[in-house]
Structures are given as C-alpha cells and as structure tokens.
Homo-oligomer: A and B are copies of this chain.
Amino acid sequence: MLLKENPVSHHDCEACPIRHRAVCARCDSDELELLEEIKYYRSFEAGQHIIWSGDRMDFVGSVVSGIATLTQTMEDGRTQMVGLLLPSDFVGRPGRNGAAYDVVATTDLVMCCFRKKPFEQMMETTPHIAQRLLQMTLDELDAAREWMLVLGRKTAREKIASLLAIIARRNATLHMSNASGELSFDLPLTREAMADYLGLTLETVSRQVSALKKDGVIVLEGKRHVIIPDLERLLEEAGDDSDGGVLG
C-alpha cells in the first residue's frame, strides 16, 4: 500500500471546504477560534475502521473529505447499513460514551475531530453549535425514515432505483448542476455495500442493476460509472413521487 503524506493542508477553519455545511456552519470567527483549539485531523485509508461499535469514544467530528458507512451487525453476521457519511456529516453522539455503530471508510477519508469533553462544554455555551447540530440531526432523522420506507415496502428493483436516485440527487446538488438532463456519477459503493444498504443480497443487487441497464433506465460504463439518461424515469422506477416529496 502506498505511503502518503498527510493530505490535510488546511488547518484554518475559514478556508475549510465544509465550513458552511458542517456542525460549525453557524459559528462566527470567535467561535471558530475556540473550536480550533480542540480540533485535530485524522486520515484514514479506504477500508479502514474509523470506529468500532461498542468502543469508547473520546471524540466527535466531521467528515472533511471521503465517504464512510455506518453499519450495524448481528451476532450471526447479518449487517445493515444505517447511514452513509459524506463530507460535512457529523460523527459521534454528544452525551454518550460508547459508539453504537461501526464506522468504516469506503474511500480515503479525512476527519476533523473534536475532543469530546470540551466539545460538549462548548455545546452548552455556544448555542450556534447546538442549533446547527439539531438541524443536521433532524435532517438525518428524515433521511433514516425515508430509508425505512425503502427497506420495509419497496421491491428489489425499486430499492436499487431509490439508491441511485439518492446518489444522483446528492451529486447534482453538490455540483450545483441543473437537476434535470443527463446525470452521471461514480458509485462510491461495492455491490456488497449496496446490498447492505438495501437489505438485499449482493446477487440480487447485481441482477437488478443489470435489469435496469437492459431496460435503458441507466447506462453503465465499467462497473462503477453510472449515467442516468432520464431522471424522471429513474424516479418512477423508484416508486417515488416525481419531486421526491421534499418539503419547505
């Protein structure tokens, strides 16, 4: 495996790529300075465990770059992904000592960590942090509930289409492109990870991806690059309302 230098060049919060979306988004310069004192960066390689379920946590933090998964595993090995962590997403739970889930980097990843104790203190004294964290947690809760519908009531084909739609929409907003027209992206997940996300087996994932391709809903370049010729069509296949049900 390649040795690499520390990829973290920006120790300055003001220049941070997730400055306006992470838990610190509402902080002013004074507050940022306080945060700088309790923060540090950690890098992980693709495949590395960031946190083991049950372990004691002495930090919380934000994903700066890269992608990680949150998973739960039963004793017999069945696993379910319960969250997908993207840049700016928050990791850890203030007020709790043990980790409830495994967190695994699926790509090389950089985290901005805050020492837990001082962070919890800052939450008491700095409403901007608690307010932003509340907002983010409410969004995550909505996402989790949307996912419950997918897991509980959708067919395998609809599940795949839903996942692709979510990734496509996220990429669209990330790159502020036009929401309609042709979209394309690289899948950040293996077939197995997709299966763990969707409550399926990897074979079923593979079959349904092939089926969607055969039916022209998606176009594949290689195994991982996906082109969506018609987002509306994909959303139909996902069983979603055309606008995705997003509310003001």
Contact = CB atoms under 8 A, between A and B. Distances in A.
Contacts of A123: 131
Contact of A72 (B76, B135, B149): B149
Interface in A117-133: 123-124, 127, 130-131, 133
11 contacts: A74-B153, A80-B149, A80-B153, A82-B145, A94-B138, A96-B247, A100-B145, A101-B145, A123-B131, A137-B138, A153-B199
Given A72-B149, A75-B241, A133-B134, 9 more contacts: A74-B153, A80-B148, A95-B135, A100-B247, A137-B137, A144-B144, A151-B151, A151-B199, A152-B199
B97 A248 contact: yes
A229 interface: no
A98 to B, nearest CB: 4
A79 interface: yes
Nearest to A101: B145
Nearest to A98: B247
A198 interface: yes
A93 interface: yes
Total identical chains: 2
Contacts of A230: none
Contacts of A153: 74, 78-80, 199
A28 to B, nearest CB: 15
Contact of A74 (B100, B130, B149, B151): B149
Interface in A200-245: 239, 241, 245
Contacts of A247: 54, 96-100
A52 interface: no
Contacts of A44: none
Contacts of A131: 123-124, 130
Contacts of A13: none
A83 interface: yes
